[in-house]
Amino acid sequence: MSKKKQVIWDGNVRDAALTILLTVDKSQAYSNLLLHQTIEKYKIDAKDRGLLTELTYGTLQHKLTLDYYLEPFIRGKVDIWVRWLLRMSLYQMQYLTRIPAHAAVNEAVEIAKRRGHKGIASMVNGILRSILREGVRSTDLIEDANERLAVETSHPQWLVDRWVESYGYDKTREMLLENNIAPLQTVRVNTTKATVEQVLTTLEREGVKARRSEYIPECLHLESGQAARTGAFRNGLITIQDESSMLPAKVLNPQPGMKVLDMCAAPGGKTTHLAEVMRNEGSILATDLHPKKLDLIEENVARLGLDIIETAPLDGRKAASFLQKEDYDAILVDAPCSGLGVMRRKPDIKYTKREEDLESLQTIQLSILNNAVQLLKQDGRLVYSTCTVDRSENEGTVQAFLKEHPEMNLVPIENLPTQLEAKQQDGMLQVFPQDIGSDGFFVAAFVKKGASN
């Protein structure tokens, strides 16, 4: 048995990354949250933040590929922390050209000495130096195409099989490769406070390089700097949000003065976008199952200076029992989902999701949609969205919903970026990560039949 000790930040980036990776593995914690907490708690400077993020995300993103490479060199069972140390070190050797391979090996040996003993350090040294001499084996040795694709891109094979069956091999391959690319940070301009040009000027003064998106007018792409550390963020001029997450508010397109319901609202990114689209005129009720999460919405609302949003703890599956029927002009159901579209920023999802997890989600989503229908006015608009890529979960839910509710019409999606208009099919839009360099996302729009129908 090796001797382990609790490691805290002592200036060693690799040790900190290893601690995060072990915690993700043992506790199934979200890597993005752990990384953020580590950086904030220990006030890690910009240079070390970059390497810490690269080592954590990179090792997670390529975990299965690294295991395939390591397998011929490992004899017998090794402790879990040693395996993660080998993965992280091999990631540096295979993917990071700016770090000399011998430096990665030396750092790994030193960590093995501190966390274990000389015997483990010797084993780590032997494995990594053998790889340096012999190289890693080719994935061409894998005969099955889906299995090879799964190993090459480090995705579970059940998911690769599922996506290939739904979307074809080529589109799936593009998606898997895109999932391993670090996302560019995007922000949404609060158009009730400033124009896009004004925010660009403000960010430039703060030393942040940003550019307009070519898809959504109020979206900016940040090429340097951290949005959360800017005055523009603190003063409520911007919200950090992935570009595809801006689609639901654009598609629902509520008008100023309307009464709107956001049924799964936390942490409030889409709720506040709705208020900005409405020019802060009208009313929005933002509900969520978890009362503590409503605090996040209220923090965002206060920071952005929006005053038409009220919050309430409410289970969307029971909402029609507590709210007035047919009282809302427009409703957004950004439903709890499998989250298979956000693997770029949460790579650990690839290894924690199970195929059987997906089956129960449609029941929850349909229950929330069933309540939304009762609360929607005649001729009112309903938008259903998820941050996942799964034909059965997304399109299957839409078809089951329409079958149960003949009073709802699936309608062509309006107000889309021009580049996405042609991609919608039968009133539904599946955005793949490779389409606009965003998270994978799904959106569908409905209108409730009424006097005009």
Number of H helices, E strands in the chain: 20, 12
Q: Tell me, rounded to whole angstroms, the distance of Cα 100 from its chain centroid.
A: 32
Q: Give the span between the Cα atoms of 275 and 267, in whole angstroms.
A: 14
Start-to-end CA distance of the chain, whole Å, equals 73
Candidates 219, 264, 337, 387; catalytic one: 387
423 within 8 A of 429, measured Cβ to Cβ: yes
Is-catalytic flag, 387?
yes
And the tokens for 307? 């005053």
Place of tokens 């959360």: 228
* Closest among 300, 62, 281, 22 to 182, alpha carbons compared: 62
Residue among 2, 7, 17 at smallest CA distance from 89? 17
d(CA 161, CA 312): 41
Residue type for 302, please? A
Q: List CB contacts of 225: < 8 A, sequence separation 6 or more.
A: 203, 206, 207, 208, 209, 210
Enumerate residues 6+ apart whose C-beta is below 8 A from 215. Answer: 243, 417, 419, 420, 436
Q: Which residue has the tokens 């190993």?
A: 151
Under 8 Å between Cβ of 107 and 89: yes
Could you check whether the bond before residue 100 is cis, i.e. omega within 30 degrees of 0?
no
Q: Which residue has the tokens 């996405």?
A: 420
Cβ-contact 284, 308 below 8 angstroms: yes
CB-based contacts of 284, cutoff 8 Å, min separation 6: 260, 261, 262, 271, 274, 275, 278, 308, 309, 310
Q: Give the residue numbers marked as catalytic.
A: 387
